[in-house]
Structure 1
Amino acid sequence: MNGPGIQLTLAPALRLFAPPSRRADRVPTATDGASSLGHVVESAGVPLTEVGRLLVDGHEVPVSYVPQDGQCVEVLAVDRPQQVPGAPLRFLLDVHLGTLARRLRLLGVDAAYENEDIGDPALATRSAAERRVLLSRDRGLLRRRELFAGAYVYSDNPDEQLRDVLGRFAPPLAPWTRCTACNGPLRDADKDSVGNRIEDGTQRSYDVFAQCADCERVYWRGAHHARLENIVDEAVAEFGTSPGPASRPQNA
């Protein structure tokens, strides 16, 4: 190792971001004596969105701290549940997380979703403008400085993704209150008022309907309701819910 250096230890949860050679405890890591600890951690492959406390020789320091030769640095993962100060807890999901977005909406969580690839700069700008936590599996996207906040989604399995996000942020749940298509609020709907938006067979078979206040999509307890209800029941059993969630029908 040339020049000054530190001993870097990543928390076990963060080691998947680093190459295998950097996953042990007290890995010798070169520094230049001028770069911040945040830069050093990102250079090791870890997005700062995933970093909790930083300890230098046992003392907590900010990401702006410049490590000195010979110091021991520990990089801890974010605490769970993670607090997001300064705004109501809302999410923005990139183009690859459509299923997760729909499941969060099913649980009443405010989850905006881009179903087209609008590019990293536009996503980061929207996160900042709307003060939304950006969820992504793209490490490069999570390193963009203009983000309001971000979080890496650790699995490519939708069930595990949902548990990861709910466990990390503990959002209040209000199942059946959001449109899974557009994220708008649902309201009770009279059968006669939605008759021109549903097929005759559906109108004859069901009596309870809801409609999105934004996109006017109609919902009822259709063939997929049991599967969706299972997703809701499991999430509420493990993570709880907000007081008095409305019960809404769902058609898909």
Structure 2
Amino acid sequence: MERPEISLDLAAELHLFVGARHRGEHAVVRSDGAATLGHLVESLGIPLTEVGALLVDGRPVPTSHLPADGERVTVQGVSRPQPLPGPARFLLDVHLGTLARRLRLLGVDAAYENPDIGDAALAARSAADRRVLLSRDRGLLRRRELWAGAYVYSHRPDEQLTDVLSRFAPPLAPWTRCTACNGVLRTAAKDAVHAQLRDGTERSYDAFAQCTACAQVYWRGAHHAHLNAIVDDALRTVGAHR
């Protein structure tokens, strides 16, 4: 018996995941008759974390749908902003350290694994902590044990941040998290952090914050204008996508 032939109309943003021959008007794949629609989409190289609605003749179907011969399936990208299945908590792999620090600057709960603990451990932590795993590793995002995941489309930190913020529109609370460890900051008196300050810093600044987890001390120093610009851009991005 000839294997069922399925046509998949792919959203434009999904084309980067597939080979050149599948980037036209629609991708034609053959099923063994037992593979689910989700498996067929993944067989093209598309992580299901990047797939929104699946439609057959305009009718929504789940990833467990068994496609029949001749069916034409529309594969949409995720909607933006994408609803989160829980609190806005993220886990970033070893390649996204700058993005992790910028999310923390904005008060977003962003755990970061460095050094690399391996795909299996990352996926397990995502599930155990109920965190959305952010990665540029397509294979990692296809692991079944993930709680939730998202592909980071750019290799540039500025574009990565805009991508994540426009996709999830998480609540922002700038200047409330430690960029080093993700701990929560509290206001600190100068006398209390005196031992950690250089003479010039102590003379020039009066307002300080300290991490409740690692004791790192923060003040609005020479880089504040650059960081404030990142915060302002982020607030505009999230505001535009809510």
The TM-score range, normalised by the shorter chain, is over 0.9
1:22-57 deviation digits (Å, cap 9, x = unpaired): 011232211111100000000011000000000112
State whether structure 2 residue 58 is matched by structure 1 residue 58: yes
CA distance in 2, matches of 1:239, 1:131: 22
CA distance in 1, matches of 2:26, 2:205: 63
- Deviates further, 232-241 or 218-227: 232-241
Within 5 A, what are the aligned runs for 1:17-36?
Answer: 17-36=17-36
Cross-structure match for 2:152: 153
Cross-structure match for 1:123: 122
Matched residue count: 239
Q: CA deviation at 1:197?
A: 1.0
Paired amino acid for 2:209 = A
Normalising by structure 2, we get a TM-score of 0.96
Normalising by structure 1, we get a TM-score of 0.93
Paired amino acid for 1:17 = F
State whether structure 2 residue 11 is matched by structure 1 residue 7: no
Does the 8 A contact of 2:54 with 2:61 survive in 1? Answer: yes
CA distance in 1, matches of 2:136, 2:158: 15
Paired amino acid for 2:147 = F
Q: CA deviation at 1:3?
A: 2.3
Paired amino acid for 1:82 = Q
- Tell me the secondary structure at the aligned position of residue 24 of structure 2: coil
State whether structure 2 residue 229 is matched by structure 1 residue 230: yes
Does the 8 A contact of 1:173 with 1:240 survive in 2? Answer: no
Does the 8 A contact of 1:36 with 1:64 survive in 2? Answer: yes
CA distance in 1, matches of 2:46, 2:236: 33
Structure 1 residues without counterparts, runs of 5 or longer = 242-252
Paired amino acid for 1:80 = R
1:10-29 deviation digits (Å, cap 9, x = unpaired): 11011110001001123221
CA distance in 2, matches of 1:108, 1:4: 50
Within 5 A, what are the aligned runs for 1:192-203?
Answer: 192-203=191-202
Within 5 A, what are the aligned runs for 1:165-176?
Answer: 165-176=164-175
Paired amino acid for 2:195 = N
- Deviates further, 193-202 or 124-133: 193-202
State the percentage of identical aligned residues.
Answer: 68
Paired amino acid for 2:83 = Q
Q: CA deviation at 1:201?
A: 1.6
Within 5 A, what are the aligned runs for 1:209-220?
Answer: 209-220=208-219
Q: CA deviation at 1:133?
A: 0.1
Q: CA deviation at 1:139?
A: 0.1
Cross-structure match for 1:81: 81
